[in-house]
Structure 1
Amino acid sequence: MVRLVFIDMDDTFVGPDKTIPRDNLRILDVAAERGVQFVPCTGRSLRGVPRELVTHPSVRYAVCGGGALVYDVRSGEIIREVPIAKELVRSLYEDVRDQRVTFDLFTPEGVFASREHLPLYNQIEMTEATRRMVVSQRTFVDCDTEELIERTPTICRVNVLFGDERGRRVTWDAVEARPELFCASSIPMNVEVTSVEATKGTALVWLCERLGVDVADTVAFGDSGNDVAMLDVAGDAVAMENASPEVKAHARHVAPRCELAGVARYLEPLLV
């Protein structure tokens, strides 16, 4: 029996053009009628979760920042927060600061980045739809990154967008040298860094325990590396057809492509 559906956003529930296929919106209505809860489970901040989801009756909770933050979207309350120790953020920045990379700080209040990195967002290779989304979700601050780190009380995730292969390699190596940190990626040009205790998988298990739901009664949908931890623990793990072979290897089933409303097409027989 399906009780909770954990859905990644980009290239899973949301299409490549950053719009939600109509049938995916319709399946939310079906879920609400059946008493099934949808849980957006995303690397985005809460501000970046589509309003169609946040305001829908089938959605009560959202997992953001790759698992570092869990919100009650109706009250706006943060019900789980897993920060990264400030000294780890400082030392990580020291290792990557000379590379062509951004260093974006995900916090309970939003996503903050130094304005000094703004030109780099226009140089990094990504689709224009992705670029608009990334830039729109950040607040650019008039100070350098070092000062921004010191001024930010709670940092739950660091997002690094890199402009070249060296930046990618240096960043991955720096994160992997720190066992307290977990790294994943949702798009080719980024590294998402959280506490090792904050993944989409740990958030899924935590929310199930809080709600008294058996993990076996969950379905999770994803397409990229930051979804693997969630797929590994869900009762039913579903990769999108557009997912990489590595992600599909962690799934029990494969749904049609995101732009074909694969989430709705997979769930409809289970919910109707």
Structure 2
Amino acid sequence: MGAPRRKECPMVRLVFIDLDDTFVAPDKTIPRDNLRILDVSAERGVQFVPCTGRSLRGVPRELLAHPTVCHAVCGGGALVYDVRSGRVVREVSIDRPLVRALYADVRGQRVAFDLFTPEGVFASRENLPLYDLVEMTEATRRMVLSRRTFVDCGTEELIERVPSICRVNVLFADERGRRATRDAVAARPGLFGASSIPMNLEVTSAEATKGTALLWLCERLGVDVADTVAFGDSENDVSMLDVAGDAVAMENASPEVRAHARHVAPRCELAGVARYLEPLLA
């Protein structure tokens, strides 16, 4: 693939970046050149927007502290934060009856059912052993466990106790759990589900995706969507790639995700985001 052509994205004003396996390497570190491109972006007046399934607490400090990062899209698009104040500027919650019904459909499977709220990520301590059964890298497992608050009550009670639920992260230990979860989400038009790793499904309101968050933030900031670039690697990035001015999939993305991109950047561990943006920001 040749260098990106400026005429396809004449002005870059907002860069939306997925984190895991896009801006962040598989070992959960940020390649040095990706950190350097943040400095270049700040000099050019370009804002970076982390766009992730993580909670705000899970966004790397190097990003949150950088002057080019003013907003963060979290919970797969359900929450948009003003990073400077820490204030939620957009929240799209899932109706609690939908969460109850979804859990009723999957509770008999070997699944962990994590509840994302503006205050953090909560899970029943009863499900803690399941995290060792889910197929994921050890770096991902450590990150997942470190970002949850485990509560001494069952999942049904937890669903009622949290003030609002913006996203449900279902981690399944086997293929049967995957099929049951996907079927349960597909049966409810009010829900949207997409994966970021093979053994999870991130469930939000149908109105809360990375793509809807990108469009909302552009309108809020008065930025033409044509002046945006989005980078992603997973199914949960497709909605963002479909609406961005320039859609860039990582070389490590699946063929299905790459089919939604206009360009392909080098692998995440090779600082593909920086290597793609350098000619555009020169």
* TM-score of the superposed pair, with normalisation by structure 1: 1.00
Counterpart of 1:55 in structure 2 is 65
Question: Within 2, Cα distance between the matches of 1:10 and 1:23?
Answer: 16
The answer to whether 1:255 aligns with 2:265 is: yes
Counterpart of 1:180 in structure 2 is 190
Offset at residue 124 of structure 1 (A): 1.2
Q: 2:26 aligns with which of 8, 13, 16?
A: 16
- C-alpha RMSD of matched pairs (Å): 0.4
* Aligned ranges 1:159-170 → 2 under 5 Å: 159-170=169-180
Counterpart of 1:235 in structure 2 is 245
Offset at residue 166 of structure 1 (A): 0.3
Offset at residue 118 of structure 1 (A): 0.4
Question: Within 1, Cα distance between the matches of 2:272 and 2:149?
Answer: 33
Counterpart of 1:158 in structure 2 is 168
Question: Within 1, Cα distance between the matches of 2:95 and 2:48?
Answer: 31
Question: In structure 2, what residue type is equivalent to 1:204?
Answer: L
How big is each residue's C-alpha offset from its partner over 1:236-257, in whole Å with a ceiling of 9 and x where there is no partner?
A: 0000000000000000000000
Q: Which runs of 5+ in 1 are unaligned?
A: none
Offset at residue 16 of structure 1 (A): 0.4
How big is each residue's C-alpha offset from its partner over 1:50-76, in whole Å with a ceiling of 9 and x where there is no partner?
A: 000001000000000000000001000
* Aligned ranges 1:14-163 → 2 under 5 Å: 14-163=24-173
Counterpart of 2:6 in structure 1 is none
Question: Within 2, Cα distance between the matches of 1:105 and 1:120?
Answer: 15
Counterpart of 1:217 in structure 2 is 227
Aligned length: 272
Question: Within 2, Cα distance between the matches of 1:212 and 1:15?
Answer: 32
Offset at residue 201 of structure 1 (A): 0.2
The answer to whether 1:194 aligns with 2:230 is: no
Question: Within 2, Cα distance between the matches of 1:219 and 1:201?
Answer: 12
Percent sequence identity over aligned pairs: 85
Question: In structure 1, what residue type is equivalent to 2:58?
Answer: G
Question: Within 1, Cα distance between the matches of 2:37 and 2:134?
Answer: 35
Offset at residue 226 of structure 1 (A): 0.1
Offset at residue 153 of structure 1 (A): 1.3
Question: Within 1, Cα distance between the matches of 2:164 and 2:104?
Answer: 19
Question: In structure 2, what residue type is equivalent to 1:250?
Answer: H
Extract structure 1 runs of 4+ deviating beyond 6 A.
none
Question: Within 1, Cα distance between the matches of 2:134 and 2:207?
Answer: 30
3-state SS of 1:103 partner: strand
Q: 1:264 aligns with which of 254, 268, 274?
A: 274
How big is each residue's C-alpha offset from its partner over 1:179-234, in whole Å with a ceiling of 9 and x where there is no partner?
A: 00000000000000000000000000000000000000000000000000000000
Question: In structure 2, what residue type is equivalent to 1:109?
Answer: E
